[in-house]
Structure 1
Amino acid sequence: METLLIIVSGKLYVDPDVRDKYLAGCLDAMEQARATPGCLDFVLAADPIEPNRINVYERWESDAHLHRFRDAGPEPEQTAAIRDAQVAKYRISSSEAP
């Protein structure tokens, strides 16, 4: 059986004046994700060029691990602050050094 790695990557858009507050509100979720079994990496970060953009990057051992974490879901205030989201899940079957 082939092992797949799950990558969730993309961007969120919030109003520029709430981006820092939004990210501060995500710190607990980022820490929880990184402590979750099967999470290999998890970060939400301010984009250095676009003042309303947040970059999303997650790496998981499996769909099952990702879904167990996702069942908790974001806080309603965080969901309400998102103006647009372009995030996708990728299934990676292999990787190599650059």
Structure 2
Amino acid sequence: MIIIAGALRVDAADRDDYLAGCAQIVTRAREAAGCLDFALSADPVEADRVNVYERWETDEDLHRFRGTGPDAGQTARILDADVHKYRIAGVEAP
């Protein structure tokens, strides 16, 4: 299993509009083969932060979707990103 998690930074005044523009991306991801979860959300404390959380079955599923991800306009609005890929060897109840 692959997890993509971290944070994006966008202009605080533009964050809600940025997230609204991501709705189609979230929908496409959740419908994509191998997507187990996909969420982009406003951080409740930092006005310029967008939280990123994705779960994918395989690298191949993730890479196939990446070809249909955000357009150049959406990407240009990201001021900074601290997002990483994690490989998960096992899953268990907390």
> Which residue pairs with 2:22 in the alignment?
26
Distance of 1:72 and 1:96 partners within structure 2: 31
Cα-to-partner distance string for 1:47-77 (whole Å, 9 max, x where unaligned): 0000000000000000000000001231111
Query: 2:44: which partner in 1?
Result: 48
Correspondence for 2:54 among 58, 65, 73: 58
User: Structure 1 stretches of 5 or more lacking a match?
Assistant: none
Q: Secondary structure of the residue that 1:66 maps to in structure 2?
A: helix
TM-score normalized with structure 2 length = 0.97
1:68-87 alignment to 2 at 5 Å? 68-87=64-83
**Secondary structure of the residue that 1:58 maps to in structure 2?**
strand
Structure-1 separation of matches of 2:72 and 2:59 = 24
Structure 2 gaps of 5+ residues are none
Which secondary structure state, in structure 2, belongs to the residue aligned with residue 97 of structure 1?
coil
The Cα shift of 1:43 comes to: 0.3
Q: Distance in 2 between matches of 1:83 and 1:11?
A: 11
**Structure 2 CA distance, aligned partners of 1:66 and 1:47?**
24
Alignment coverage as a number of residue pairs: 94
Q: In terms of Rg, which structure is larger?
A: 1
